[in-house]
Structure 1
Amino acid sequence: MLSIALVSFLLLHFTVALTPDSFLLSCGAPSGTTDESDGRQWYTDTDHPNLLPSNFLNISSTATVSDTSVTRVPYMNARIFQSPFTYTLLVSPGTKFLRLHFYPSSYLDITKSESFFSVTANHFILLSNFSAFDATTSSSKVLRKEFVINVDGTQILSVTFSPVPNSYAFVNGIEIVSVPTDLYFHGDVKLVGHTKPFNINNSTALETLYRLNVGGNLVGSTEDTGMYRVWDSDDAFVVGYGYQTPHFNDANITYNSENPAYSAPTIVYTTSRTMANYSPGLDWEFPLNSGFYYLFRLHFCEIQPEVKEINDRSFSISIGNQTAEREADVIQWSGGWRIPVYKDYVVNVRNQDGEQNVTLGLSPNPDSAYQNAILNGLEIFKLNDSNGNLSVPNPELFGTNNSSPNNNNKRSSHIIAVITAVAVISGIALLSILCLLIFRRWKRGKELHTSVTKSSWIPLSITSDSTQRTGGSGSSALPSDLCRHFLLEEIKTATGNFDEKFVIGYGGFGNVYKGYIDNGATIVAVKRLNPSSKQGVREFETEIHMLSKLRHVHLVSLIGYCDDNNEMILVYDYMAHGTLRDHLYKTDNAPLPWKKRLEICIGAAKGLHYLHTGKKDIIIHRDVKSTNILLDDKWVAKVSDFGLSKIGPLSGSGKTHVSTVVKGSFGYLDPEYYKRQQLTEKSDVYSFGVVLFEVLCARPALIPNMPKGQVNLADWACRSCKKGNLQQIIDPNLEGQIAPECFNKFAEAAYNCLKDQGVQRPSMNDVVWNLEFILKLQDAADNRGHKMELNSYPTSPAFPLIMNDHTNISTDEGFEAFSGSHEVGGKYTSSATSMTSNSDDKLKSDTIFSEILNPSGR
């Protein structure tokens, strides 16, 4: 039964409790004081009218060490508990935000090792064996833990702080704010990977883990919609190469009953993140504790003028590598332009030890007009388990039984003795291993007659976990004699301490600098991955593993790397003429002549052919595009950027593909790979086919704001081939340069690379053969003095060959052109269809073509 005092208190404050709650406790502040420095009234925890009477047998203290960036209220005072203590708060029925504020500092000389405690709210366990000292970071001196809890008709919210034995608990502030009941508790939610939904009702408790203003800056609590939520920037969690869209100040967001104004502040819906050019999608990565279900709430609002109709932008959503939504269409969901909408998904992070990195991925659907993806805001909540638990304890640093001091001392002495013994044994073993390694390295160095200099040739120092890196030494599977290790100081010297004037390129990974090494004797390209982001670590490793083992005249050469001080820097041969795209469009460079384009395509094709056949294992590049074909000072083409490369199916395994998640660049992405997630070397062939049309037409693979049928270059060019009007879309700068038979054959080669099914596409060997043949056709035409007039490229009947894929077309001249070939006895013979040229010269295949040689390693 309730005591008479408690009944009187309840009756006295009954009317107060019926109103929505928004009250704040400044714990440990002097009695009788209030504060309104943040625009809200903070009461001391002994004076608040909604706090039930209680005997404070605990300690209050003021922080003796403070940071100027930390606000005075509620963080400069703390309530300290030496034994379990409960705040009993009278609140209105319904859903509440319960926020606990902590500022780990020096209170009464209490140290970090003496502050471990648990927190419960009604029957939910919020924190267990928790240390605020461990939970804060160098970038955030204070900690705010937010929970969503429903309070039933008793109107009592009891928050209990329980220190572990021989320790203390503390809290700086407690905040309670009413939440619309249906905002987070609204029944069935889609459970990712399952057909049955997951029910979230008001008997569930949530812990807010991430609340992000995607593509925008921090949104403070006072900018929220009356619930004082904080929306952080998503920069720290982005893995893919996403663009941040500008904030639309004049965007008139239209809320509705399904997505009311309190769902998220307007500024969240007027900023967003979309895909960068040539990016396969958008990806974020979040560390989450294993063994819990999580609610992902994704906020969307189409505010870009070009996206107003259904299917203008359609994309898929995956969470934890499981498909959550196959065709997300914001306009269809919301009902119109500038109308916000949010979607909820629940994912189960299965039991494993510790944390898991869970990825949220958005990938555009190829059939949508505007092939891109968008996200405006994101909230992630942990759901309580079947025991009402939300906590993941810190490691048990302290015993939980009440042993006597003498027993504690004895146990401590025993532990110290054991630790000392283990340390001595481990030290001896470590010293022995170190001596062995030093001896083996000395012996090897002596055999090779090499000496270790400042820029030594050593393996990459990367841990086995691809998400963690150190600047120290570590084990690596990289060959130690193929990859030069640079010190960070050398890289800084080479680039003028990363001077902006040396920047020659940039992207989602960071900047590329022109640098000078070996006392200025060698010019290099220095690719510095952004050290403050998590992206690029796996690509960094892959690039070094691949290029340290590959040497070919048509592959860019990796000189070395630097991983000092958590940097990720790659050093390549300098390519004086930049990327192929730099000379096709969106550039001030002079247009490339047709024969130079052909020679570049042949070189790039040879580089890819070497990857597919030149090593023991097939290597699939997986990101072939015009920006990854570089040109040296002699205009020799070199394939670059192996960060996404994969080893293909092993010979003799019977497998024809590698099953893997889809990665690459949209516009170049093999549709068969995209649909089936089965990667083959023919995926590179498809991408190269797009490059061929890019070379011919001098336009990007994707232009989202083009008319619907012209957005995707591959689709547009193939349709034009079938209609026989490809000549209408080629680069005007090529007027008069392409011989008719050469133009027809080049279009055929590109078209065949873009066949829907990989088995129908030529091999890179065939592609090289065809391109060399096309160059011979062009040389022959130039030698006989061909002349082309405007719009004189062949149309029908030459293009039925492409349309129907049928057999020979011949004329009296008997000039054969093969769409595929194979090598027999060092010469090429036909393996596919043939066509005829108007050439007066009777050329033979054995005199036209050069053999494809694999240049030896440098």
Structure 2
Amino acid sequence: MISHALLVICILVSAAVLGLGDATAAYKPTDLFLINCGTSSDTIDSQSQTWTSDQQHLLTSKLKNLSFSSDASYQEEVPQVPYTTARIFLSNVNYSFPVSPGWKYLRLYFYPTRYESGFDTASSFFSVTVNGFTLLKNFSADLTVKASKSKSLVKEFIVPVNQTLNLTFMPSPSSLAFVNGIEIVSMPDGFYSKGGFDNMITNVGSTIDFNIKNTTAFETVHRINVGGQMVDEVGDTGMFRRWLPDDDVILSENSGIIPVVPGVKINYTEKTPPYVAPEDVYKTYRTMGNVDNPEINLNFNMTWLFTVDAGFLYLVRLHFCETLAEVNGPGQRIFTIFLGNQIAKQEMDVIDMSGGSRIPMYLDFNVLVGFENGPRPDLRLGLHPYADIFPKYYDAILNGVEILKLNSSEGSLAGPNPNPLVSSDQTPNHVKPSARKGNNSHVLVITLAVVGSSVVLATFVSVIALLRKKKKTKDVPLHTTSKPTDSCSPLTTYLCRRFSIFEIKYATNDFDEKLIVGTGGFGSVYKGRIDGGTTLVAVKRLGIASKQGAKEFKTELEMLSKLRHVHLVSLIGYCDDENEMVLVYEYMPRGTLKDHLYKRNKASDPPLSWERRLEICIGAARGLQYLHTGAKHAIIHRDIKTTNILLDENYVAKVSDFGLSKVGPTSESQSHVSTVVKGTFGYLDPEYYRRQVLTVKSDVYSFGLVMFEVLCCRLINIEIVPQEQSDLIRWVKSNYIGGTLDQIIDPDLAVDITMISLEKFCEIAVRCVQDRGTERPPMNDVVWGLEFTLQLHETAKKNNEGGTMTDAEALLSKTDDNCVCDPVVGEEPKAL
């Protein structure tokens, strides 16, 4: 404990030397551990902090048999302490730290690179637990760093401890674990559990009170100094937190303005003591600007997007402080706070709540993030001026953001590994000899290059031998990777992950036919696993001899690498080695919509309910809506059909197969694109088929046919039925006009469907399949109409499935057919 006390004194002295104000001394931690893992003696970092060796904290007696230390081979743009050395674990190893009761910051430091022992972190997957909580599961520090702009990584957790903090590292099968540094810092009692400065936690989207138990663990996902620069650990208020600028999370780099008010002194209060956030956070902020034309601010939101893991509750802490001289009274600047597209607080008046200018305050909100937008969605934070009571300024303000993930009911904080970014420079950083510190000699450069090449070659051979040994089926044939073909633009390479043919063959067991989950005109789709077997993917292999397949490959790669939407299938990466054309997508476990309509086994795979079919149609329509309106120029899919609408594990619909997609008109003078006819017969727009005139309304026509199939559960053309029923469009239209729609629906829907929603659904579908494109609705109207149809169905079911539909009919009578929902104020995400 003496060494700990000396360490605290050393840190406080260094803070004083750096000229930090009183705010930095606002909190003095009772527990402070700085552990440099893998070292045998104390080390001093660049900020004069002392880091101790980790050996005295290891419970395991046979240390040499279960772990070893190793120095990093290269040191790139990261501090030497604690990243010079690492503790590498061969088996489960536990650290033990005696601490006082209460919540503690636990920070784990990782530098994924190659180490002198031959250990390469690219193959390292492991889990970490502490006192019964799972912090990381099958975690890859290498993938996590490659998904960021940094060379190193700090994972910060907040864990409740009684007397001892037991930290365990557990390597995944056939893998090793590692860590470079461990930091433990105590924090004020109830710092995050009591709520904001008003001692409340607002439960967004619910009226039920929300409380945080003292047995809850957190992971710090984001800590942002809005409008300001990075505040490092020594610049914080005694808890060694790091506040990052908001450049990477603001929706638009040019969003709002950053006022500069010199000589500001923040007036901390008992409700907001100095340790809540440093002065630099409360002195800097963003506002919407447009001082000369403030009414412009009413047309958009100031928006931030924070990537999070789905399936967790999040504590969102927002920091505010008004410092402008002209904003000095209540009622002058009032705005609404949106979290996850829901209203978190309708009337936010900083001056009124804090008590005056330059007085800081902070509010806490609880938000549930579901899986609707994928496993790693963006949590959207938006601010919009509240104009109903005519404030002096139509504006909004934000100083800082903290987003903390709460542990699940199983005690887990672990999320999936992110998809790494791929830069245009394909050379791995850790094999660049020039990156090593202090290397100015040409001879040394050449020597390191030779040694590095030898290490890479030896490691490559070792990995291949290990993989061969692990395979239970036939060996994967090895090939020398050829020079990549010129199949994608530099932008695509940056946005999309590039796989080697070796990785693809290993993921698919050398294209094992047993793993084929689908086939198309240009190749087969395989079920595969990447990232050490942790991530399921769909691997589409296009035929080598197909020239059309090569064009489809390039088109789909260019399109999907630039488009991201919850209702579009996500492209993870590609491979163009050895004349192969391979695309890697997110895996969709529920298969195609066509499978659920026609190939289901009723005993094990029950039919889709009417409500679920409506939700699937809405999802697919939103995907098309995004294609038509979300990019600079409209994108026409050209092959919409039930086969190209895929379903994830929660039956969320995603549009797929963009090989035939075409960019729409690129100038206002153009009304269409003239091109040869491509697509699937039966779904083709008559105008496009007859005149080769392609517009976004061609997709609308195809989607109308999909709606007919969803309703009737029958193919477009059938020869074994009476002639009047052979053409699906004519058959549905005649029954729609004749008022006999109940006779054509899928028999499985007979007891589930409501007539009022059936009629509205058919009205939309019939409008979609009009012969002339100008008579068809845009996808915006289709989405709104389908959402309204679902609302009608739910209202009718709620009243009485077989009785009156008064509420639904009243709802219908109040709504204009051409606009079936109110637009949402705010800005929509744009495509790249």
Per the normalisation by structure 2, the TM-score is 0.52
Quick one: structure 1 residues 664 and 83, their matched pair in 2 at CA, closer, same or farther if it must change by over 3 Å? Answer: closer
Does the 8 Å contact 2:72/2:85 carry over to 1? no
**CA-CA distance at 1:15 after TM superposition:** 14
Q: Measured at CA, do residues 440 and 72 of structure 1 come closer, stay the same or move farther in structure 2, by a change above 3 Å?
A: closer
2:166 matched residue in structure 1: 158
Compared CA separation, residues 285 and 351, structure 1 to 2 (3 A): same
For the residue of structure 1 that corresponds to 2:276, the secondary structure is coil
Per-residue CA deviations over 1:521-551 (Å, capped at 9, x if unaligned) read xxxxxxxxxxxxxxx9997615546995597
8 Å Cα contact 2:328-2:356 kept in structure 1: yes
Shift of 1:470: 9.5
**In the alignment, what sits opposite 1:375?**
398
CA distance in 1, matches of 2:816, 2:558: 31
Counterpart in 1 of 2:512?
A: 421
Match of 1:99 in 2: 107
Separation (CA, whole Å) in 2 of partners of 1:141 and 1:12: 31
Counterpart Cα distance in 1 of 2:563 and 2:238: 46
**2:511 is aligned with what amino acid?**
T
Counterpart of 1:23 (choices 33, 36, 53) is 33
Q: 1:229 aligns with which of 241, 261, 275?
A: 241
User: 2:286 aligns to what?
Assistant: 273
Equivalent-residue separation in structure 2 for 1:133 and 1:13 (angstroms): 32
Q: Matched residues in 2 for 1:105 and 1:23: separation?
A: 25
Specify whether residues 549 and 206 from structure 1 end up closer, same or farther in structure 2 by C-alpha distance, changes over 3 A only: same
Q: CA deviation at 1:178?
A: 1.0
Query: Is structure 2 residue 207 aligned with structure 1 residue 195?
Result: yes
Shift of 1:290: 1.2
**Does the alignment pair 1:37 with 2:46?**
yes
Q: Check the 8 A contact 2:114/2:120 in 1, yes or no.
A: yes
User: Do the aligned partners of 2:29 and 2:239 also contact (CA within 8 Å) in 1?
Assistant: no
Q: Secondary structure at the match of 2:472?
A: helix
Q: Residue 113 of structure 1: CA displacement? A: 5.2
Equivalent of 2:134, from 117, 121, 125? 125
Cα deviations across residues 207-239 of structure 1 (Å, max 9, x unaligned)?
A: 000000101121111111111111111111111
Q: Report SS of the residue matched to 1:295.
A: strand
Q: Secondary structure of 2:150's match?
A: coil
* CA distance in structure 1 between the partners assigned to 2:818 and 2:278 by the alignment: 52
Q: Is the 8 A contact 1:214 1:377 kept in 2?
A: yes
Which amino acid in structure 1 is aligned with residue 48 of structure 2? G
CA distance in 1, matches of 2:243, 2:627: 27
Of residues 44, 48, 63 in structure 2, which corresponds to 1:56? 63
Do the aligned partners of 1:205 and 1:384 also contact (CA within 8 Å) in 2?
yes
With over 3 angstroms needed to count, the CA separation of the structure-2 counterparts of 1:538 and 1:34, relative to structure 1, is farther
Q: Supply the AA of the counterpart residue of 2:405.
A: K
Q: Is the contact between residue 333 and residue 391 of structure 2 (CA under 8 Å) also seen in structure 1?
A: yes
Equivalent residue number for residue 328 of structure 1 = 348
Equivalent position amino acid for 1:149 in 2: V
The reply to whether residue 359 of structure 1 matches residue 368 of structure 2 is no
Amino acid at match of 1:275: M
CA distance in 2, matches of 1:100, 1:551: 53
Give per-residue Cα distances to partners, 1:28-76, cap 9 Å, x unaligned: 01x233324322211111257xx77955234443334323411111011
Quote the residue 1:209 is aligned against: 221
1:349 is the counterpart of 2:377: no
Alignment check: 8 A CA contact 1:461 1:471 kept: no
Q: Deviations over 1:740-772 (max 9, x none)?
A: xxxxxxxxxxxxxxxxxxxxxxxxxxxxxxxxx
Structure 1 residue 109 corresponds to structure 2 residue 272: no
Who is 1:220 aligned against?
Answer: 232
Unaligned residue ranges in structure 2 (runs of 5+): 9-27, 291-295, 420-465, 477-504, 525-540, 575-625, 637-662, 674-772, 781-811
Q: Which amino acid aligns with 2:247?
A: D
Q: Give secondary structure in 2 for the equivalent of 1:133.
A: helix
* 1:428–1:324 CA distance, 2 compared to 1 (3 A): closer
Is 1:88 equivalent to 2:96 in the alignment?
yes
Q: Closer, same or farther in 2 for the Cα pair 1:459/1:214, shift >3 Å?
A: closer
1:465 maps to which residue? 564
2:265 is equivalent to residue 252 of structure 1: yes
1:663 counterpart = 2:762:
no
Cα distance in 1 for partners of 2:362, 2:217 equals 20
Q: Is contact 2:68–2:88 with CA below 8 Å preserved after alignment?
A: yes
How far does residue 331 in structure 1 lie from its aligned partner after superposition? 0.8
Distance in structure 2 (CA, Å) of the matches to 1:439 and 1:236: 35
- Cα 1:354–1:261, aligned 2, differ >3 Å: closer, same or farther? same
Distance 1:247 1:92, change over 3 A: farther
- Pairwise mapping of residues 431-830 of structure 1 onto structure 2 (< 5 A)? 431=542, 435=546, 437=548, 465-466=564-565, 541-544=631-634, 549=665, 654-656=817-819, 658-663=821-826
- For 1:380, give the aligned amino acid: I
Amino acid at match of 2:92: P
Judge conservation of contact 1:125–1:390 (CA < 8 Å) in 2.
yes
Following superposition, the deviation at residue 330 of structure 1 comes to 0.6
2:266–2:360 contact (8 Å) kept in structure 1: yes
How far apart in 1 are the matches of 2:238 and 2:266? Answer: 18
**Inter-CA distance 295–80: structure 2 relative to 1 (3 Å threshold):** same
Larger Rg: 1
SS of 2:49 mapped into structure 1 = coil
CA contact (8 A) 1:466 1:538 kept: no
8 Å Cα contact 2:315/2:366 also seen in 1: yes
| CA-to-aligned-CA distance 1:2-22 (integer Å, 9 cap, x gap) | xxxxxxxx9999999997012
Q: Residue 411 of structure 1: CA displacement?
A: 5.0
The 3 A distance-change label for structure 1 pair 275 and 616 is: farther
Q: In the alignment, is the contact (CA less than 8 A) between 1:52 and 1:90 conserved in 2?
A: no
Residues 1:249 and 1:90: Cα distance change in structure 2 (over 3 Å): farther
The alpha-carbon deviation at position 199 of structure 1 amounts to 0.9
How far, CA to CA, are the matches of 2:550 and 2:223 in structure 1? 53
Kindly indicate whether the alpha-carbon contact (under 8 Å) linking 1:114 and 1:166 is maintained by their aligned counterparts in 2. Answer: no
For structure 1, which runs of at least 5 residues remain unmatched after alignment?
1-9, 397-403, 442-455, 474-535, 559-613, 622-648, 666-858
Aligned with residue 293 of structure 1, among 313, 326, 337:
313
CA separation of 1:145 and 1:653: change in aligned 2, threshold 3 A: same
Alpha carbons 2:46, 2:79 under 8 Å: kept:
no
- Equivalent AA in structure 1 for residue 282 of structure 2: Y
The Cα shift of 1:165 comes to 2.3
Contact 1:462/1:470 (8 A) holds in 2: yes
Distance in 2, matches of 1:538 and 1:276, equals: 31
SS at match of 1:170: strand
Equivalents in 1 of 2:410, 2:133: separation in Å? 8
* Deviation per residue, 1:783-810 (Å, 9 max, x gap): xxxxxxxxxxxxxxxxxxxxxxxxxxxx
Please state how far the C-alpha of 1:311 moved relative to its aligned partner: 1.1
- 1:65 aligned partner: 73
Q: CA offset at residue 298 of structure 1? A: 0.4
Aligned to 2:85: 77
Give the match for residue 167 of structure 1.
175
